[in-house]
């Protein structure tokens, strides 16, 4: 890929990836025999875990097919490599600007998994404005509504917020309340009052502890407009402009 043309996003909107059928695997077996799919994905994952959160969603996508990849999956991996080709100097940047406090941002993409229609959870946490934790993954259960998908994501983000809060308190930086920003008004309402109980009573009890954390003032769920939510890059393919804006906010830059 050394001479490949660079692209502006890790994945294009035209990629609609799903698991290969047995027929597709058989037909493309010869083509895929010498393709280093697993090695390429593993190396890309190393970059993402180290200093490239902007790769999280794309790598999470191609990793789903690591056991039986076909040509379209390999094309998606090469797209990520083309993105890296043009962003070799991009990395996480840490500064001492702002207050040393934990803040979280979370988002969900309802029914995004084409195989089982599972939703995607995305979250990112900053300390003093610097990114320290991020995640993009399929939810373990199938959400029956957008509210449920966001509620599950909020539950996952709340656990991460508690851990980070405890960690920085051990370091001597006391913080009573962690703000977790969410762009779902219904999930925020649910965190403060079980107003949609009939529609969400089937959700695993472990996600409902968000209300307890809110009532005890350990976390505060705050509304953020979707266009300003940086966690969007961990749940879906974004337009170039919006992605660049999120990367600037998260201090993933060339500086």
- Are 192 and 211 in contact by the 8 Å Cβ rule? The answer is yes
Residue 38 lies in a domain: yes
Between CA 182 and CA 103, with CA 234 as vertex, the angle to 5 degrees is 45
pLDDT along the chain (255 residues), means of 10: 89 88 93 94 92 94 93 95 92 88 95 89 95 94 88 93 94 92 90 66 70 89 93 93 92 85
Residue 1 lies in a domain: no
Contacts of residue 165, Cβ cutoff 8 Å, sequence gap at least 6: 102, 175, 178, 218
Are 147 and 59 in a shared domain? no
Bridge partner list, 123: 106, 135
Chosen domain end from 88, 117, 143? 88
Tell me which residue has tokens 């969400």.
200
In this structure, the dihedral spanned by the alpha carbons of residues 243, 13, 109 and 214, taken in order and rounded to 10 degrees, is 0
Are 108 and 211 in a shared domain? yes
Instruction: Give the pLDDT score at 166.
Output: 94
Rounded to whole angstroms, how far apart are CA atoms 233 and 176?
28
Are 39 and 108 in a shared domain? no
Q: Within a 10 A sphere around the Cβ of 176, how many other Cβ atoms?
A: 8
Could you give the number of structural domains in the chain? 2
Are 189 and 229 in a shared domain? yes
Residue 67 lies in a domain: yes
Run of H or E residues at 72: helix 71-86
Q: Within a 10 A sphere around the Cβ of 181, how many other Cβ atoms?
A: 22
For residue 122, what is the domain's CATH number? 3.30.420.10
Are 151 and 226 in a shared domain? yes
Are 118 and 34 in a shared domain? no
Domain residues for the domain of 53 are 22-88
Instruction: Give the pLDDT score at 112.
Output: 87
Rounded to whole angstroms, how far apart are CA atoms 165 and 182?
18
Are 133 and 197 in a shared domain? yes
Average pLDDT score over the chain: 90
Residue 9 lies in a domain: no
Are 100 and 225 in a shared domain? yes
Chosen domain end from 60, 88, 116? 88
Are 134 and 225 in a shared domain? yes
Instruction: Give the pLDDT score at 251.
Output: 93
Residue 114 lies in a domain: yes
pTM recorded for the entire structure: 0.90
Are 138 and 247 in a shared domain? yes
- pLDDT tens column, 101-158: 999 999 999 998 888 899 999 999 999 999 999 999 999 988 888 888 998 999 999 9
Are 105 and 231 in a shared domain? yes
CA distances from 225 to 23, 60, 185 (A): 44, 25, 10
Token output for 41: 């994905």
Residue 172 lies in a domain: yes
Between CA 240 and CA 60, with CA 52 as vertex, the angle to 5 degrees is 80
Are 35 and 122 in a shared domain? no
Residue 7 lies in a domain: no
């Amino acid at each position: 890929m050394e001479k490949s043309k660079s692209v502006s996003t890790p994945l294009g909107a035209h990629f609609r990836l799903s698991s290969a059928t047995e027929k597709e695997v058989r037909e493309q077996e010869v083509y895929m025999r010498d393709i280093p799919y697993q090695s390429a994905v593993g190396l890309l994952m190393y970059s993402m875990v180290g200093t490239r959160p902007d790769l999280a969603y794309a790598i999470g996508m191609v990793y789903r097919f690591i056991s039986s990849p076909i040509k379209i999956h390999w094309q998606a991996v090469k797209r990520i490599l083309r993105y890296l080709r043009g962003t070799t100097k991009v990395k996480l940047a840490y500064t001492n600007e702002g207050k040393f406090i934990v803040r979280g941002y979370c988002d969900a993409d309802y029914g995004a998994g084409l195989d089982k229609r599972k939703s995607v959870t995305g979250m990112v946490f900053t300390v003093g404005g610097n990114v320290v934790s991020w995640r993009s993954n399929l939810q373990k259960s199938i959400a029956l509504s957008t509210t449920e998908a966001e509620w599950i994501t909020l539950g996952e983000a709340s656990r991460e917020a508690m851990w980070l809060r405890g960690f920085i308190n051990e370091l001597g930086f006391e913080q009573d309340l962690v703000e977790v920003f969410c762009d779902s008004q219904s999930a925020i309402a649910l965190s403060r009052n079980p107003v949609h109980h009939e529609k969400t009573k089937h959700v695993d009890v472990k996600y409902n502890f968000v209300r307890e954390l809110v009532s005890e003032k350990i976390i505060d769920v705050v509304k953020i407009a979707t266009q300003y939510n940086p966690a969007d890059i961990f749940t879906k393919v974004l337009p170039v402009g919006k992605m660049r804006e999120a990367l600037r906010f998260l201090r993933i830059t060339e500086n």
